[in-house]
Structure 1
Amino acid sequence: MKVLRGRYVIEKNFTNFYHQNIYCEFDEFSMDNELNRFFLFAIRVFKRYSSYSNLSRCEMVLDEVQYEHVDFNRIKLYHRTI
């Protein structure tokens, strides 16, 4: 059974119509992305005002994430109505 994983590439599939292959694109996973930068920023802000010890552990999980100040005007919130 063939399964589609990733994003279907229409152009390549139309040009190779008779082939049995399905062309897909994949996004490369990276720990250093906008959402994880936001989480790291939030953890560091909360650490200033909290004695909750697990915040340090959460910060260690995100050690590959580059710390930067978050501009809340740049954050894109996507939502879908059901």
Structure 2
Amino acid sequence: MSQTIQLYTTAGCHLCEQVEAMMEYLIQNDDMVAHNFDMLPVEIAGDEALVERYGIRIPVLASSTKELGWPFELEELREWLIAT
């Protein structure tokens, strides 16, 4: 069963697009990540509480128990996912 990882994002965020590409790459190409995770983009613009919490921090990835905020490299993302 795969775990859903939320990507807090907003339209036009180029860093968010980079993180989305990194997640997709790992999901498709890394045996430790593939089939274990799904990514769910969460648009923060329409929710005042999300803008307050993540507005200056996006992109942020979140599992049910922890968050990973930008900046991070591909290997850091991989390690975070495996430890999640």
Same fold (TM over 0.5): no
Relative to its length, the structure with more strand (as a share) is 2
| TM-score, with length taken from structure 2 | 0.30
| TM-score, with length taken from structure 1 | 0.30
Which fold has the larger relative contact order, with Cα–Cα distance below 8 Å and residues 6 or more apart in sequence?
2
